[in-house]
Structures are given as structure tokens and as C-alpha cells.
Structure 1
Amino acid sequence: MVKRCRDCLRVGLLYPAIYEAAVASLAYQNMYYLLNSLEYVYAERIVARSMAGPEPAPRSLETGRPLREFDVVVVPVSYELDYVTLGRLFHAAGLPLLRREMRRGEGPLVVVGGPVASMNPVVALEFADLVAVGEAEPLLPLLAEKAYEHGPWRALEELECRPGFLAPGCEGVEKVVVRDLDSAFHSTVQFRVPGSGEPWGEAYMVEASRGCPYMCRFCMEAHFLMPLRYRSLGRLLELIERGVEANGVRRVAFYALSFFDHPAADRLLEHVIGEGLEASIGSLRADTLNEDRVELLARAGQRVVTVAPETLSPRLCRGIGKCIGYDRVEEIAGWAWARRMHVKLYFMLGLPGETDRDVEEYAEALKKLSRRAPPVREAIRVTVNPMVPKPHTPMQFHRLIDRATYERRVRILRRAQSKVLTVEPLSYRYAYAQTVIARGDETVARLVDEWARLGGRLGQLWTAARRLGVNLDRYAYGPVEPRWHRLVRLGLPLKALERAYTYSTAEAENGNSVEHGGG
């Protein structure tokens, strides 16, 4: 259904990935319906046709309007490699990705936001006229109001350097957040891909909480989304009732970094079950689970219990601020298997102080766990990825594990594979590219532009680097200057993060108990 709106502000809401990924983003869904709830705004969706290679000139899904004909283009970026797709879309539209290549006032006003842009705006500033630092609910209506009243470019002059709006030349801005989730906008109707089954099947997506009480030292999402906030049980029940009916679905997908830390999580699931609905919850904090909660998940139709121990080493876990031991994993797995559920585990390689011996102990623990598993194919799925250092976290100073070491340790873990257990490693090259962009600067922005021109395939990153003479290893392995801290103020000073990293490294390397320093 196309909104009819004469003389409205025309906003292109560009998701730098394919439509199926846009559907799975509750943030993108909320932004789309929030903007269209404003009477003077008409927002249309723009997505990529593919994730690499030639791209047709991007047009909106609603009316086919070309990208360059919008007044404002808003781009949420939640994954570093999305910048490459953004570049491909801009080039296909005949627009430069690097804003310095376009005269100010020409073309649409480009606003880039989301966790990746907020946490390291040094890269984003090369692509955007404004970087939205913080959360969409307070920032988008203000942006739209100013752009409608004064025009996009006058709005830029009014907003730049104000809290939440970073532009070239600003000394730094405060992140803007929603204080009360109950009063914040949340979509009722949601668009989806009928019959796709991904990522949750056909479900109504609802955000139960924002932020995380644990603040693990590697987790960008927790640091970006602080402080911790909950939606009330009453508000969640209202959203579910309306959303399930409006979308004609029988499943609810809950979004939360730690679902069972919500004070009403158990009652919420009981209500969903009582209404004859099913529920889906992603990764769960192992230390918040008990047998009753696993039973609730099974009754709600969930078929997989996903937990992320990251490491099974009592020594290494202190360094990252997250300790989930083998006994706890075995206990949860037993509860799940008793209810004919599968178990999925996430591990990270390349933690401070990690050795091959640590990984050999993981493999032995996984073999032990397999002996307890029912004789069911993939009763246990283990996903492995390198620890990617992210800005504004205590681990931002840590170097990425090198490729040879990562692949050797993956081979060690694969010794545990059997009919009941599979090990699925993330491609090292993806983690490498992610790290380069996550800790990048203006040079990396130019690299992304060249990479996009070449087609955006993963291997073309190295071609682009050779053409521009960029040393990629500097960003992946070398010490980096965290310039993003001068541009964005999240609440933790740089010195506190440096202390946290020093303490975490010492804990991991010698196993001593030392005072935590802000992580």
C-alpha cells in the first residue's frame, strides 16, 4: 500500500543488503513505519538486489523512484561490510560514495546511522553528510521535521554538531538514546517474505529490552545500547496482541540481548503459550537458564537452544568478562535433549592469552558432550569465529588472530566432529575485512569506495588495497589510534577502556584475580 502525501518530505530508507535481510531487521522495520507515521513524510524502502557484483540502478520498492531523486536518504548500518553494498548502490545510482566528491547541496542529503556508524564515525563521515549517533526514535523525527520545514540542506546547518548529529568539523557529540521504551515507537504492522521461513519463520518481531546488564568486554552491541532498559509487561502484551492480529501470524520473535533478564520474561512466555502462539528467541545467556525455562521454550515451539559460552577456559573467560563453564553447558544441553531440542554453541578464537592447548581442551570437552547427546544428526552445532575487536569496547586494542593460527585451531576443534556434532567456522577473510572496517579511518573509507567499484566481492578487497597502496594488516594486527573517541561520547572514557583491556589481558595470561577496570 502506497501512502498518498502531497508536498511531503521524500525519504529514501536504504538498507544496504538484500530484502530478506531488511525484513529480519526490527530496527529497519521500526524506522520505516515511524517515518511514515509522520504526516509530512513519505518514506520508501530501497534494498540491494544482490550482495556482490553488478547492481541495477536502485529504485524504491513502493513507487520505483530513483535513489538520487529523494530529498533525504537514511542508511542504517549494523554490519561493517554493509558499507560495501552501500557503495555499490550509490555507484549504480550515479552518486559518489565519498561525499567530498559531490558539491554540498547537490543530490539527496545522506544520513548514516546504526551501531557501526555510531561506534566508529570516522569511516561513516566520509560517506555521510550527517552521522546519526544513537537511537532512531528521537533522532529521525527531529531530522524529518527540520528537513521538511527548512529543506534538507538548511536542516543540516541547524542540526550539525547538536547531540546525536555528527558532521565533518564537529569536535564531538553525545549519543542520544530513548529513556523510556514504553513511550518509544514500535511497529505493529511489519513487512516480511511470506513462506520464506527466515529468519524466524513468519513471526511478529517485538523488542523486549534494549541494552545488556553484563557488558562483556568484546560486545559492541552492549556498549552501543547502554543503558539497559525494559519494555513493561503490559506494553509488550499490548504489542503482541495487536501485532499478531495485524500480521496474521502465530509466532512472536523476541529481540533482546539477554531475554531472561527481563523481570517479566517467564510471564511473557507463559502468556504467549496460553494464547496458542509460538515464540522464537535467539542466543540466550546460559547463566539465566534453568530447567523450567528450557521447558517454557520447548512449549513455545522453539526447537533449538542457542548459548554462547565463547570459551570453556576458566582462565580466558575472565579476560572477556564472560564465564560459562563446561558443566553449565552440559546441564543446559541435557535439559534441551530431554525435550527433543537441538543445541547450538558459539565459540570465539583468538582471545587474549589463548593457546593451542586451550582449544585442545575445548575439543575434548565437546567430545565428552557428544557422548551424552542423543543419536540425532546435529544434536550439537558449534559455530566458531575469530574474536573481532570493536570500537568503544575494552577489546578494541586487541589484535585479530592471524589466519594460520585461526585455521589451525579450527582444525583442532574439528577433531570433535561426529554424527551428532558439527563445527561450522566463519571464513577468516570475512572476520579480517570486518576488523579492517571496524577500526578503520578515512583511508579505509576510500578503500571501501574502490572495493565497491570493483564489485564488492570479498576477494576484491585485496585488489582494492593493492591499487590504493593500503596496508590492511595495520588495521587488523597493528596498534590503532582510537580516534572515534574524540567524535562520540558514550559514557566510558578512553582511559577506562585502556585500563579494562590491561586488566583483561593480565587475567587471561596469568589467571590472577585483579580488579576490574570499567569493562
Structure 2
Amino acid sequence: MIKERNVVIKKPLGKFRVALVYPSKYSEGMANLGLHIIYDLLNSIEDIYCERFFLGYARSLETGSEVKDFNLIVFSWQFELDALNILKFLKECGIPIDRKERKEFILVGGPCTVNPAPLEKFIDAFYIGEAEVSILKFIEIFRELESPKEEVEALSEVGGIYLPEIENRVRRVYLKDLDSFYPVTQIMSEASVYNEAFLMEISRGCSRGCRFCMGGYIFRPRRERSPEKLKEILEMGVKFNKPKRIVLLGASVTDYSNIHELSRMISESKVEVSVPSMRVDALTKDFIGALADTGQRSLTIAPESCRILRFAMNKPIKDEHIYRAARYTAEAGLKNIKMYFIVGMPDEREEHMLEIAGMVKKIKADTGLKIKMSVNPLVPKPHSAMEWAPFVDRKSYSEKLRLLKKELKGKAEVKSESYRLSSLQTIIAMGDYSLADVLERVYMEQNLNSWKRAFKELGMSFDSYLGERSTDEPLPWDKIDTLVKKDFLIKEYTRYHNLLGEVSGA
């Protein structure tokens, strides 16, 4: 039995019922701010009742209702591989997965919808953008339709709605004023990844423009909450939720324009505060000290690669910034530092791995911190400057990983993402309409052999989704306007290669 606080309880009778499904583990879903935003926003309307479902939960947590009892089913698609879980959830609930064979209407939102192609066979509508903007308008029009599945064109009036039935071009929608809405009451659960934490979003979007990062492009422009609003949210969040900790969220929390005021708020909160990851060149001694004062025990940063590749990635962080962040961490009394790295960038070489290892060795020698490294292959993403890049081949990835582990034995703990899972993630991220036929065959098994067997039976090429693409070819997601032009991304991809050549030759 899951223990929760602040759950919304209404009488379902006479309400427009929305099933909000997070197609993965409960612990992960309850740590997702988007779920809390939609839950709070919809339940703020008296005659709408939004209830939660998770993978493995065939009935809602609020009333124990079946998903078939709801007027609208909404999925949150946060990670590519959850596409399989969406289909699995429907199957387990006895709902046909093909949209043309069922009466239920399904709306999918979340960052992965910027390439809806792999799921278009199964989903009635995709919400492209931020829910606060027009989800209520969507429901308002939806409720007026006698037969929404036969009148989908009416839903195209809503900003950010892509409808596979009519294949309309759509522009991503975003909330211009972050101060206008925030869920200050959130469900507290010990089973969440963050354990009864209040999620506090400082900013949204990123101005940095790292060339490998889809989020850095699709959440533009960067917006901040005002210090006054953050103070109000913090005070109300602690009062209403009595959380065990506060988690600060934002693409780059340390880029906040009033970082000193934020540091002061953290110090005065008297609740443990943690930040999932921070930009090292903007870290201050005061900010790390403030986190340490509230009980945070480790620092997480993302150097991504060596100096040369960082420069080409458009993440021009100097090694000295990383060394300084490690020093500040040790001086603040923290014992651990976690570092994220990407392996498999185009034109990456063995010498780049040795440079990474040298940097990590120096941090260990200078600070004595316990170092954990998370090393993951580059997963090319749509609407990023790396959408044309190839996925690293298995042999190259394994050799580079072995080199890092050999060089850093006894100096750092090196863990890596599964090559198999990353390759499948890439296939879905870069998928087209025909991939739906593969997904339909593999979603219940979800192993590499079943994928390769499905590709073979369908006469399709597994590797074609992993290779380099020409910048001239049309892409399945071209109809989705994320407000960043394709020509700009092509220039950024070209600039990556040019810069890598310039820096390597210097």
C-alpha cells in the first residue's frame, strides 16, 4: 500500500474524468514535475477529475477505477522507450492499441512528442509543448464534440495539437510567464525517487545551446521565475506539503540571474535542498556552501567530454571550471561528486578518452573526493544539431569504455548505460511511420532479439535507423515546428565538425 499525502479526492459522478498515465515506474512518475502540473491544473477545475495511473497499475490510485471508465486518456511520454510501455499499458487494460480500432481517445504529451511518427498509428492526438498553455482549451473543445474521434479537425484549433488523422503542421506552445502558474500543493510520497520532496522549478529552457541536447532547443526560450515568486512558492510549498526535502529544477539552475538571492533562500529554508545537476562554470562557492548547509551530501555535474569536444559541442567549459567546482565541493565538506560523460560523438578518438581520464585523476588527487562517473553513448535526438549524427558502433563504444575503466581503476567508479537500450532509444527517437509495425511486434517482449527478428520479418533494416543521415533528406518530424529552424540546426551540425577540426589542429 503506497502512502501519499495531498491526493485530490472528488466524487466522480458527473465529472469529466481524465486518466493521467505515466507509462513507467510509480517512483519515477512521482518525481516528474509535469505530472504534478497537469494533475493540479486539471483538478483545479471543479467538474474535471484527473486521476493517476502508472505501469503495472491497471486501476487509478484515487478511486480504483478502470481506465475504460474515463472520458479522456492522457499519457506523459518522457523517454523514448516508454513508447513500448504505452502500448503495453493499453494491452494490459484491454484497450486496442490501433487508434482506428478503439473508441477511447488518447492524447500524448511530453518531450518525446517532437517526433510523433513512431506512435502515430496508435495515438489520436499529440500535445506539442507545455501543458499550462492550452490543455484546458483542448478539454473544453473536446467536451463539446459528440464524437471526438470523428471530429478531430475541430481539435486542431487548439495550439500545439498534432492530429495524425489529418497530419496537420503544428507549432510548439510554451508558457511565456512562469510566474503565472505553479502547483504549490504536490502529492508527497515516500515511494518517489526523491522521497517526499517538493519540486521547485527555478527556470525553464536553456540559453546555452549544447549541440547534442534536444532539451536545449525544444524548450526555448529560456525563462525564469522572479525571486519574489520563488520566495512565495518556497514558503507555501513548505507550509502546505511539509516535505523532507526541496528539489530545485531547471535546465541550468546555476544560470539563474539572481543566484545570490537564491543561495540566501536555500540557506534560510531549513529543509534539505538538492539539485540534480549543475553547470560548473556558473557554480559559486556560496551556492555549494548553501546546499551543504541544508544537508546535500554530493554534487552532480556534467562535463560531458574533454576540453576539445566540449568546445565543439558548444559547451565551452574550461577544465579549470571543473577543478574549481570539485575544490568548492570538498571545501564545503561534501564527500562525493558525480560526473556525466557522453561517448560516441562524431570524430571522437582514443586521445579524447585519455584526456577525460587525466582530468578525473587530477580531481581525485587534488580533492580526495569519491568520484562516480556515468558514461553514456550519444543518442542522436530530433530537433537537435546532432539529429544527423550516427549512433556509435558497439566495438568503438566498448573499447572506449574499457580504456576509461582501465585508466581510472581505483580512482573513480565508472558505470555505463546499456549499449542495447541506448541503440533502441536511438531507433525510436529517429523513427518514422513504418517503425510502428516494429513496435507492434516487440512491445510485449522488449528484448534485442525480438527487435531484430521484427525488422527481418518486415523486410526493414535495423541499422538504417542508427546511421548518419544526409542534411538534405526530409525527416519524419519536419512537420513539427519547435520554433528552431532546420537551417539553423544544419549550420550548428556543420559548425561542430568545423570547430573540432580547428581545435584539434591548433
TM-score range, shorter chain: over 0.9
Cα offset for 1:5?
Answer: 4.4
Q: How does 1:91-110 map to 2 (within 5 A)?
A: 91-100=91-100, 102=101, 106-110=102-106
Cα offset for 1:325?
Answer: 2.8
Q: Pick from 492, 497, 506 the counterpart of residue 505 of structure 1.
A: 497
Deviation digits for residues 170-216 of structure 1 (CA, Å, limit 9, x no counterpart): 341111111111112x212222432x4x5333211111110011021
Cα offset for 1:512?
Answer: 7.6
Deviation digits for residues 439-498 of structure 1 (CA, Å, limit 9, x no counterpart): 001122221221113x33455433433443331211112426452443111222222211
Comparing 407-416 and 144-153, the one that deviates more = 144-153
CA–CA distance in structure 2, aligned partners of residues 200 and 160 of structure 1: 37
Residue 151 and residue 420 in structure 1: after superposition, are their counterparts in 2 closer, same or farther (change >3 A)?
Answer: farther
Q: Which residue of 1 aligns with 2:241?
A: 247
Comparing 479-488 and 170-179, the one that deviates more = 479-488
Is the CA contact 1:390–1:439 (under 8 Å) kept in the aligned structure 2? yes
- The secondary structure found in structure 1 opposite 2:303 is strand
Kindly indicate whether residue 422 of structure 2 is the aligned counterpart of residue 428 of structure 1.
no
Letter matched to residue 178 of structure 2: L
Residue 264 and residue 122 in structure 1: after superposition, are their counterparts in 2 closer, same or farther (change >3 A)?
Answer: same
Residue 512 and residue 503 in structure 1: after superposition, are their counterparts in 2 closer, same or farther (change >3 A)?
Answer: farther
Q: Which residue of 2 aligns with 1:494?
A: 486
Letter matched to residue 243 of structure 1: G
Cα offset for 1:96?
Answer: 2.6
Q: Which residue of 2 aligns with 1:339?
A: 332
Q: Which residue of 2 aligns with 1:52?
A: none
CA–CA distance in structure 2, aligned partners of residues 419 and 273 of structure 1: 35
Q: Which residue of 2 aligns with 1:36?
A: 43
Comparing 432-441 and 137-146, the one that deviates more = 137-146
Q: How does 1:122-133 map to 2 (within 5 A)?
A: 122-133=117-128
CA–CA distance in structure 1, aligned partners of residues 98 and 499 of structure 2: 42
Letter matched to residue 18 of structure 2: V
Cα offset for 1:221?
Answer: 1.1
Cα-Cα RMSD: 2.1
Q: How does 1:369-384 map to 2 (within 5 A)?
A: 369-374=363-368, 379-384=370-375
Cα offset for 1:110?
Answer: 0.5
Letter matched to residue 476 of structure 1: L
Q: Which residue of 1 aligns with 2:5?
A: none
Deviation digits for residues 133-190 of structure 1 (CA, Å, limit 9, x no counterpart): 1110122111111223335607733112653111122341111111111112x21222
Letter matched to residue 158 of structure 1: A
Q: Which residue of 1 aligns with 2:144?
A: 149
Is the CA contact 1:46–1:60 (under 8 Å) kept in the aligned structure 2? yes
Q: Which residue of 2 aligns with 1:12?
A: 19
CA–CA distance in structure 2, aligned partners of residues 275 and 286 of structure 1: 23
Cα offset for 1:384?
Answer: 0.4
Is the CA contact 1:72–1:152 (under 8 Å) kept in the aligned structure 2? no
Q: Which residue of 2 aligns with 1:53?
A: none
Residue 156 and residue 9 in structure 1: after superposition, are their counterparts in 2 closer, same or farther (change >3 A)?
Answer: farther
Cα offset for 1:322?
Answer: 0.6
Letter matched to residue 404 of structure 1: K
Q: How does 1:76-475 map to 2 (within 5 A)?
A: 76-100=76-100, 102=101, 106-117=102-113, 119-151=114-146, 153=148, 156-160=152-156, 162-168=158-164, 169-184=166-181, 186-194=182-190, 196=191, 199-314=193-308, 316-341=309-334, 342-374=336-368, 379-453=370-444, 455-457=445-447, 460-475=450-465
Residue 381 and residue 354 in structure 1: after superposition, are their counterparts in 2 closer, same or farther (change >3 A)?
Answer: same
Is the CA contact 1:269–1:300 (under 8 Å) kept in the aligned structure 2? no
CA–CA distance in structure 1, aligned partners of residues 137 and 376 of structure 2: 39
- The secondary structure found in structure 2 opposite 1:13 is strand
CA–CA distance in structure 2, aligned partners of residues 14 and 155 of structure 1: 24
Is the CA contact 1:346–1:384 (under 8 Å) kept in the aligned structure 2? yes
Residue 328 and residue 272 in structure 1: after superposition, are their counterparts in 2 closer, same or farther (change >3 A)?
Answer: closer
Residue 65 and residue 155 in structure 1: after superposition, are their counterparts in 2 closer, same or farther (change >3 A)?
Answer: farther
- The secondary structure found in structure 1 opposite 2:257 is coil
Residue 33 and residue 459 in structure 1: after superposition, are their counterparts in 2 closer, same or farther (change >3 A)?
Answer: farther
Letter matched to residue 356 of structure 1: E
CA–CA distance in structure 1, aligned partners of residues 474 and 406 of structure 2: 39
CA–CA distance in structure 2, aligned partners of residues 209 and 116 of structure 1: 20
Cα offset for 1:272?
Answer: 3.0
Cα offset for 1:78?
Answer: 1.0
CA–CA distance in structure 2, aligned partners of residues 152 and 279 of structure 1: 48
Letter matched to residue 462 of structure 1: K
CA–CA distance in structure 1, aligned partners of residues 319 and 241 of structure 2: 41
Is the CA contact 1:88–1:456 (under 8 Å) kept in the aligned structure 2? no
Letter matched to residue 255 of structure 1: L
Cα offset for 1:358?
Answer: 1.3
Cα offset for 1:411?
Answer: 0.6
CA–CA distance in structure 2, aligned partners of residues 482 and 385 of structure 1: 28
Letter matched to residue 60 of structure 1: S
Residue 393 and residue 33 in structure 1: after superposition, are their counterparts in 2 closer, same or farther (change >3 A)?
Answer: same
Is the CA contact 1:138–1:176 (under 8 Å) kept in the aligned structure 2? yes
Letter matched to residue 321 of structure 1: N
CA–CA distance in structure 1, aligned partners of residues 451 and 316 of structure 2: 36
- Alignment TM-score, normalising by the size of structure 2: 0.92
Number of residues paired by the alignment? 494
Deviation digits for residues 265-315 of structure 1 (CA, Å, limit 9, x no counterpart): 33123123213122111110111012222222212322111111111132x
Is the CA contact 1:161–1:172 (under 8 Å) kept in the aligned structure 2? no
Deviation digits for residues 15-67 of structure 1 (CA, Å, limit 9, x no counterpart): 11011111110111111111111122111111112xxxxxx7x2212222222
- The secondary structure found in structure 1 opposite 2:484 is coil
Structure 2: state its 5+ residue gaps. Answer: 1-7
Is the CA contact 1:138–1:178 (under 8 Å) kept in the aligned structure 2? yes
Letter matched to residue 388 of structure 1: V
Structure 1: state its 5+ residue gaps. Answer: 50-55, 515-519
CA–CA distance in structure 1, aligned partners of residues 287 and 266 of structure 2: 14
- The secondary structure found in structure 2 opposite 1:413 is helix
Q: Which residue of 2 aligns with 1:517?
A: none
Residue 191 and residue 126 in structure 1: after superposition, are their counterparts in 2 closer, same or farther (change >3 A)?
Answer: same
Cα offset for 1:354?
Answer: 0.8
Letter matched to residue 260 of structure 2: D
CA–CA distance in structure 2, aligned partners of residues 300 and 466 of structure 1: 55
- The secondary structure found in structure 2 opposite 1:381 is strand
Comparing 424-433 and 493-502, the one that deviates more = 493-502
